[in-house]
Each structure stands twice: as C-alpha cells, then as structure tokens.
Amino acid sequence: QVQLVESGGGLVQAGGSLRLSCAASGRIFGSYGMGWFRQAPGKEREFVATISWSGGHTRYGDSVEGRFTISRDNAKNAIYLQLNTLRPDDTAVYYCAATSRPYGASIGSDYDYWGQGTQVTVSS
C-alpha cells in the first residue's frame, strides 16, 4: 500500500513559479514509477509528467514540456514538480500518483495509487 499527500499549491501570477511536493508512505515507494496529472474544471484529467523508479527517466506532456520539471528523492520518499513560467491555463488540481510500472506511465489507468490533489491557480 502506498499513500500519497501533495502540498505546495497556491495562487500565483502568470509567469511565476511554484514547487509541488508529494510525500509517499510505504516501503515499495522506491520501486514505483511516479507521475503528476492535473484536472481543470470541466476538463478531462491530463498527463503532466512521469519519472522512473530511479529518477533517470522522465517524460512530459506537450503543454508543459520545457516549463515543468519532475524529480524524486527516494531517501525522503518524495517526488516534486517544479512549475515555471506559469500560465492561466495551468490552473488545475494537481495529483500525484504511483504506478507499479518502474519507468512510469502517461496514462492514468496505469496508476495504482493517487493523492488527494493540490490546487494551483494562476492569475493573469
């Protein structure tokens, strides 16, 4: 069992930055691929980024490539999402998720565990 708790969301102006954190519990964290997804009101859940169990492989959604960076610290059982050059259309609830696929995944149904989410609001 893996439990995930996100933090770091908030209100920021366009062009600003935020850093999201996801704290994980469970001994198997280090063997799991991890990911971030987001969902805006009235829209479908969107893939943001994923990272392999070791942190050596990452992938990003097209809309965030070059602006967001995913990382992990297995010693701290945590993953992070650095959000730079934020835009109003980045406004959403951001979710952390864990998958038994060691190299991560871009499809939500491939994930086994989800956090409760943290709100990010970007004002224009």
**Residue 74 contacts residue 27 (beta carbons within 8 Å):** no
Q: Tell me, what's the pLDDT at 21?
A: 98
Render pLDDT for 13-61 as a digit per residue (tens, 0 to 9).
999 999 999 999 977 788 899 999 999 999 999 999 999 999 999 999 9
Render pLDDT for 85-115 as a digit per residue (tens, 0 to 9).
999 999 999 999 999 999 999 999 999 999 9
**Residue 37 contacts residue 90 (beta carbons within 8 Å):** no
> CA–CA distance from 69 to each of 4, 79, 112 (Å)?
19, 11, 22
**Which three-class secondary structure state does DSSP give residue 124?**
coil
What percent of the chain lies above the pLDDT cut of 90? Answer: 93
